[in-house]
């Protein structure tokens, strides 16, 4: 055993309960046999952009590896134009608001569910994390930053801190 935790994968599926337009996340422990994505999404089909295709039998998900810059380009398809009045402020407040929604869900988990980890609604948290990711991607683009570059620089910074034994300290420049 290597000591690594398996990565939990989720797939987007049609919600069987409630609004048929909603999607639900289902946990996938093993993702080796998932079908590969079409070579390019149908940009006229919103479901294709969201990770699946609409067929005669409803929403069918597809899987593919996606790098952060690819996600960033996809997020921009649903973003307001950069020149929209107060768009930068909208993006910053949206990022903070969605992050706050995650904190709110955990506050209720502590208050109502006695902090039992098995009772965390992971699918719901995943949706909120997706919203945070969307705002982060669009905000980064607004500032002419690449998500791939941000992620690479962040991991290099953390590896450097770890190598110097200052990972647990405080302050940006340690």
- Write down the CATH number for the domain with range 67-166: 1.10.287.1080
Q: Tell me if 107 sits within 8 A of 161, measured CB to CB.
A: no
Helix H or strand E encompassing 23:
strand 23-28
The pTM of this model reads 0.65
What does the pLDDT look like over 3-15, one tens digit per residue?
Answer: 443 443 434 343 4
**pLDDT mean across residues, the chain:** 75
Give the pLDDT band (50/70/90) at residue 143: very high
Give the pLDDT band (50/70/90) at residue 65: low
Question: Domains of the chain: which residue ranges?
Answer: 1-65, 67-166
Which CA distances in Å does 96 have to 129, 150, 156, 159?
A: 12, 18, 25, 27
Nearest to 50 by CA among 19, 11, 3, 88: 11
pLDDT surpassing 70 at residue 104: yes
Tokens of 27: 């946990």
Which CA distances in Å does 142 have to 78, 95, 135?
A: 14, 13, 10
- Tell me the C-alpha distance between 95 and 102, whole Å: 11
Looking at residue 171, its pLDDT comes to 82
Looking at residue 167, its pLDDT comes to 87
What does the pLDDT look like over 16-30, one tens digit per residue?
Answer: 444 434 444 444 343
Kindly give, in sequence order, each residue whose CB lies less than 8 Å from that of residue 128, ignoring residues fewer than 6 positions away.
98, 101, 102, 105
């Amino acid at each position: 055993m290597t000591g690594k935790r398996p990565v939990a994968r989720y797939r987007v599926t049609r919600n069987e309960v409630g609004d048929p337009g909603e999607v639900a996340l289902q946990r996938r422990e093993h993702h080796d046999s998932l079908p590969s994505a079409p070579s390019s999404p149908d940009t006229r089909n919103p479901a294709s952009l969201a990770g699946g295709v609409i067929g005669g039998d409803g929403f069918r998900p597809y899987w593919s590896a996606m790098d952060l810059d690819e996600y960033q380009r996809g997020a921009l398809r649903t973003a307001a134009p950069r020149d929209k009045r107060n768009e930068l402020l909208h993006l910053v407040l949206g990022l903070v608001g969605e992050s706050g929604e995650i904190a709110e869900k955990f506050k209720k988990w502590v208050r109502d569910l006695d902090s039992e980890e098995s009772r965390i609604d992971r699918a719901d948290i995943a949706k909120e994390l997706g919203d945070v990711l969307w705002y982060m991607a669009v905000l980064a683009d607004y500032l002419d930053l690449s998500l791939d570059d941000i992620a690479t620089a962040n991991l290099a910074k953390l590896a450097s801190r770890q190598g110097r034994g200052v990972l647990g300290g405080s302050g940006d420049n340690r």
